[in-house]
Amino acid sequence: SDQKAKEIDSSLGENVKGYKSNVSKKEDCYNFVKLVLAMFGRIDILVNNAGITDDNLLIRMSQEHWSNVITSNLDSVFNMTKLVVMHMLKQRQGSVKNLTSFVRIKRNAGQSNYASSKAGVIRFTMSVSLDLVTKNIRSKCIAPVFIKTAMIDKLNKEHMYNWIKTIPLKRAGLGEDIANVAMFL
């Protein structure tokens, strides 16, 4: 795996690092958590935001397309949460934020794998929050409607416009909008 740390921004006096890791693989998650703990000594907040789409109608969707999305979007949340929570339990505090999607409510053709994975993240988070609430570890979901990412750049422009016109602000959200929500929670 390619898990190299690089400095992102120190302009605010913060010690911030970026990592590249495949969190759908349990071994990569283990190595990633080990690296973060070696560098910082503790983990206070986990934000699970990995996600992919591989849309197709059910009758055309292969097992591989189904599994790739479920592995990336749902297994990664399990892998990272389980490993990080073990350390949060020792610290007697922590916060887990899992990104899901409004798609789990709003129906889109060809997204049975994506919608299932994101609905699974919600139910996982609800269950984990009950498991951990007495241990001073919070677990919450963030379910944005439409965020400007490389994933939505692939959408048909008319489809994108139709989504945006349903949003009260009449614009797609930004990554920093979600980061601010995660930090607030």
Residues designated as active site: 114
Q: What angle do CA 139, 36, 182 make, to 5 degrees?
A: 30
Q: Report the 3 state secondary structure along 149-163.
A: CHHHHCCCHHHHHHH
Q: Report the alpha-carbon distance of residue 8 to residue 184 in Å, rounded.
A: 21
Q: Report the alpha-carbon distance of residue 81 to residue 76 in Å, rounded.
A: 8
Distances (CA, A) of 14 to 10, 17, 58, 84, 181: 5, 9, 46, 21, 19
